[in-house]
Amino acid sequence: MVRRTKADAEATRCTILNAAEQLFYEQGVSRTTLEKIARAAGVTRGAIYWHFTDKADLFNAMLERIRLPFRQMLSELDHSTETDPFLRIRDVMIRSLEIVGQSEQHRRVLTIVFHRCEYIDELNPAVRQQEHLNNEVHDTMQRAFSRAAQAGLLNPAITPALAASALNAYLGGLIAKYLLHPEQCDLANHAAELIDGLLLGLKKPD
């Protein structure tokens, strides 16, 4: 009986998150109220408050559903023993773009983050979480580029911090562009070429 109750609670939580994700995507975050989410999910507002503290908590839970594969890849990059760090950086970045290009859920949630989210006070906790992830990405890349520099592979005119900033900004720009104009920036099929184009300029010339 307890096991079935837990399963029911998890199913309700998932239904609420799915409804919120769809409404955030269609209407934007600030125009989506908890009342609208409750109606779309077929639950009461009380059910939402049982699972989530407020809209910011719900928003952050929605983000967490797509963050796991990216965090796993960052961990792989941080613990890589590859003699050429550029190869591991390339692999992780290509896989990241391919996930966005191939996963409808990732595209929907990232569209919300990039293009449907007004950074207003009620979402500050969720925004801070997103900034924390961005900092994780930058710091992990910087450590990887530091290893590349130690191996004599990074362009000596570029510091590891600058290389990490450039790659992070490039990825963000590619994703933002793709979400608005996928026909101009095919991440699913051209991720390797898009990443190689930038890494070529960061590597030390032969």
Residue ranges in the chain assigned as alpha helix (H):
2-27, 34-41, 45-51, 55-78, 85-102, 104-115, 124-150, 160-180, 187-202
The predicted pLDDT at position 118 comes to 73
CB 126 within 8 A of CB 117: no
Partnered with residue 203 across adjacent β-strands are 154
- What percentage of residues in the chain have a pLDDT greater than 90? 66
Q: Please answer whether residues 163 and 145 qualify as being in contact, where contact means their C-beta atoms are separated by less than 8 angstroms.
A: yes
Above 50 in pLDDT, residue 1? no
Condensed to tens digits (0 to 9), the pLDDT of residues 112-169 reads 988 887 766 666 656 677 777 888 899 999 999 999 999 999 999 999 999 999 999 9
Distance from C-alpha of 106 to C-alpha of 29, rounded to nearest angstrom:
17
pLDDT value at residue 68? 83
Query: Minimal CA–CA distance to 88: which of 161, 175, 173, 147?
Result: 147
Label residue 5 by pLDDT band (50, 70, 90). confident
Give pLDDT, residue 157: 92
Tens of pLDDT along 66-97? 988 888 898 999 998 888 999 999 999 999 99
The neighbouring-strand residues paired with 154 are: 203
Residue 6: predicted pLDDT: 84
pLDDT digits (tens, 9 = 90+) for 19-34: 999 999 999 988 999 9
Contact by Cβ (8 Å): 97, 192: no
Residue 60 in this model has a pLDDT that exceeds 50 = yes
Question: How high does pLDDT run on average in the chain?
Answer: 89
pLDDT at 126: 63
Q: What region, left, alpha or beta, does residue 160 occupy, with left being phi > 0 and alpha being psi -120 to 50 degrees?
A: alpha
Output the pLDDT for position 29. Answer: 87
- Is the pLDDT score of 100 beyond 90? yes
pLDDT at 124: 61
- CA distance to 2, 18, 35, 48, per residue, from 14 (Å): 18, 6, 17, 11
What band does 2 get if pLDDT is binned at 50, 70 and 90?
very low
